[in-house]
Amino acid sequence: MDQTAETDTSDYGLFGRPLFDDPGARALSRVGVVDVGSNSVRMVIFDGAARSPAYFYNEKVMCELGAGLSDTGRLNPRGRERAMAALLRFQALAKDLGLPDLHVVATAAVREARDGPEFCQEVEAQTGLTINVVDGEEEARLSAQGVLLGWPGAYGLICDIGGSSVELAEIGGGEVGRRMTSALGPLKLRDIKGGRRARKAHIKKTLEDMRDQMGPQRDRLFLVGGSWRAFARLDMLRRGYPLNVLHEYRMTHKSVQETIKFIEQGDPDKLRSQAGVSGSRMALIPYAMDVLARLIRTFKPKDIAISSYGIREGLLYQQMPQRLRDRDPLIEASRFAEAKDARLPGFGKHLFDFVIPLFKSAPQQKMRLIKAACLLHDVSWRAHPDYRAEVCFEYVTRANMSGLKHSERVFIGLALQHRYRNKREGNRFAPLYELLDEREQKQAEILGKAMRFGAMLWMKPNVAMGKLRFFPKKQQLDLILPKNAAPLFNEVAEARFNSLANAVKSETRVIMRG
């Protein structure tokens, strides 16, 4: 826990002081990472709040360095050419953007190929980049750290699928536990002789051996890697799922089995087009889904979650001091957005204090959603007034934020929508509301109307605004205003106060003090 936060709770509350202005956080404000994988080479430049970074730049080239490696023992020659061209481009981009250096890692294909060292030397000679070739267990650890970047309190089993390998790692208590690697990547499975029956037998034996060494793993299964994300897109397509965000997308055992049948019975070209999956990735899906089916049968996880964070995010997480790792990525990202885009940065914490009497019994998990909504309540003010409610909803449901279930994205989005509009019926987002039950929808409405009213009492920083008192059993909602704030409570503010009172089914009372 950050010591600054502990000594400053009277000002900033239970989530502590923002960290993005801290020198240690600023040092991570722009970090470039390159992942030289068996199937693709990708560069990501992270920027923004250090605990919940934005993707300033993200580019991938499908090189298939590991294609044919099982037969030849060497990197795919065409893949080498494409990878070198990609690395030359990435180095030039990084130089033009003023990055001090790029952190480059290579995984299974480069570490296994006889010409892997030669390739690394060639890359260094032509680009000046030094490739750090990681072993399988280190790859598993970095992928697990990437998951921890998005889920600080996560526990369960990580499964990272690359082109040539599959890594497993267990996480819990913010730490990475046992780790293993295997040659179950699609490019390797494609080279197994004997057809699908032989391939499935090989997968079964390999995963059972891994289970014997890893031990029981009955908690959540986190899936990391492009092939898993492509499978999840196909699962979304089959289900008609309304929110096209892969990170924290959940699947059940039954859903996986139904999607496998859906893929087997469908036209591959039509499916990939409808789901937005590339042709090269779609070609690997049959191998990946055989691994997934057996993985679930072998380890029997309680549920399954997609993680868009993996080895690249793990490299960033590795550079973070522990006090940054311990912070809530949702809150830090929301604070950063407020500082960058709100008209009055810092008002969000006052607004949170104003609305919280309506949610006294809310658990910590709900409190963080309320806090995030208050911090984000004004970040879309530049949008046209007729579309501001829609822009708010889209902002949070599509934003690159971690630490949020899909239902929680919709909760915050709906609250922000009610911040600008009383009613939610009759718009294109209606299918997304189904991710919340009626009680959650009502809570989001109450929060939104409370923020809508609270924004009317906007005063200069560090000056007390009005306070709410809520007595649900008495069905009484009080507004306590200092006398100098009385002019702010005009007929428009009163109408919004009454709208809030109607939402909580209470009578109103206005008390002037001071």
Q: How confident is the model at residue 3 (pLDDT cuts 50, 70, 90)?
A: very low
User: What is the count of structural domains for the chain?
Assistant: 3
Angle of the 347-355 helix axis to the 438-454 helix axis, nearest 10: 120
485 belongs to a structural domain? no
pLDDT in tens, 134-182: 999 999 999 999 999 988 889 999 999 999 999 999 999 889 999 999 9
Nearest of 410, 445, 398, 399 to residue 424 by alpha carbon? 445
Q: Is 278 left (phi over 0), alpha (psi -120 to 50) or beta?
A: beta
Indicate the SS3 state at residue 146. helix
Residues 333 and 390 in one domain: yes
Q: Supply the pLDDT for residue 17.
A: 56
User: Looking at 313, 348, 379, which one is the last position of a domain?
Assistant: 313
Most confident of 86-90, 329-333, 384-388, 396-400: 86-90
The answer to which of 247-256, 261-270, 356-365, 391-400 has the lowest mean pLDDT is 391-400
Q: How confident is the model at residue 6 (pLDDT cuts 50, 70, 90)?
A: very low
Residues of the chain with pLDDT > 70, as a percent, come to 92
Residues 371 and 421 in one domain: yes
497 belongs to a structural domain? no
473 belongs to a structural domain? no
Q: Supply the pLDDT for residue 462.
A: 64
Distance, CA of 318 to CA of 339 (rounded, Å): 26
Mean pLDDT to the nearest integer, 9-14: 48
Residues 156 and 125 in one domain: no
Burial group, residue 29, by CB count within 10 angstroms (0-12, 13-18, 19+):
middle
Q: What distance lies between CA 194 and its chain's CA centroid?
A: 39
Q: How confident is the model at residue 10 (pLDDT cuts 50, 70, 90)?
A: very low
Decide: 465 and 456 in contact? Cβ < 8 Å.
no
Distance, CA of 454 to CA of 448 (rounded, Å): 10
pLDDT at 220 over 70: yes
Q: Supply the pLDDT for residue 20.
A: 47
The mean predicted confidence, pLDDT, of the chain is 90
Residues of the chain with pLDDT > 90, as a percent, come to 74
pLDDT in tens, 50-89: 677 788 899 999 999 999 998 999 999 999 999 999 999 9
Mean pLDDT to the nearest integer, 208-214: 95
507 belongs to a structural domain? no
Give DSSP secondary structure letters for 357-373: GGGTT--HHHHHHHHHH
Residues 447 and 300 in one domain: no
Q: How confident is the model at residue 5 (pLDDT cuts 50, 70, 90)?
A: very low
Greater pLDDT, 463 or 480:
480
501 belongs to a structural domain? no
Q: How confident is the model at residue 461 (pLDDT cuts 50, 70, 90)?
A: low
Residues 416 and 387 in one domain: yes
User: Looking at 290, 313, 336, which one is the last position of a domain?
Assistant: 313
Q: Supply the pLDDT for residue 66.
A: 92
Residues 412 and 387 in one domain: yes
Residues 297 and 185 in one domain: yes
> Looking up tokens 């010591």, which residue turns up?
3
pLDDT in tens, 396-429: 998 888 889 999 999 999 999 999 988 887 788 9
Mean pLDDT to the nearest integer, 25-39: 79
Give pairs for 351-356: CB < 8 Å, separation 24+.
Answer: 351/377, 351/451, 351/454, 351/455, 352/13, 353/13, 354/450, 354/454, 354/457, 354/465, 354/466, 354/467, 354/468, 355/447, 355/450, 355/451, 355/454, 355/468
Structure tokens of 112?
A: 């296994």
pLDDT at 328 over 60: yes
pLDDT at 19 over 50: no
476 belongs to a structural domain? no
Residues 379 and 443 in one domain: yes
The answer to which of 272-276, 380-384, 459-463, 480-484 has the lowest mean pLDDT is 459-463
8 belongs to a structural domain? no
Q: Supply the pLDDT for residue 31.
A: 86
Residues 396 and 365 in one domain: yes
Mean pLDDT to the nearest integer, 112-119: 96
Residue numbers of the domain that contains 252: 137-313
pLDDT at 254 over 60: yes
Q: What share of the chain is helix, strand, coil (3-state, %, to 5)?
A: 50, 15, 30
Nearest of 139, 138, 146, 295 to residue 217 by alpha carbon? 295
Task: Report the CATH number at residue 406.
Answer: 1.10.3210.10
Q: How confident is the model at residue 124 (pLDDT cuts 50, 70, 90)?
A: very high
User: Looking at 98, 113, 133, which one is the last position of a domain?
Assistant: 133
Burial 185-202 (b: 16+ CB within 10 A, else e): bbbbbbebeeeeeebbeb
Q: Which residues pair with 160 in a beta bridge?
A: 167, 224
For 426, residues 6+ apart whose C-beta sits below 8 A from its C-beta are: none
pLDDT at 16 over 70: no
Q: Which residues pair with 159 in a beta bridge?
A: 168, 223
How many Cβ atoms are within 10 Å of 414's Cβ, its own excluded? 28
Residues 402 and 362 in one domain: yes
Decide: 129 and 87 in contact? Cβ < 8 Å.
yes
1 belongs to a structural domain? no
Residues 146 and 123 in one domain: no
The answer to which of 31-40, 179-188, 215-224, 319-328 has the lowest mean pLDDT is 319-328
Using only the alpha carbons of the chain, give its radius of gyration: 25
pLDDT in tens, 256-280: 999 999 999 999 999 999 999 999 9
Task: Report the CATH number at residue 71.
Answer: 3.30.420.40
Residues 190 and 297 in one domain: yes
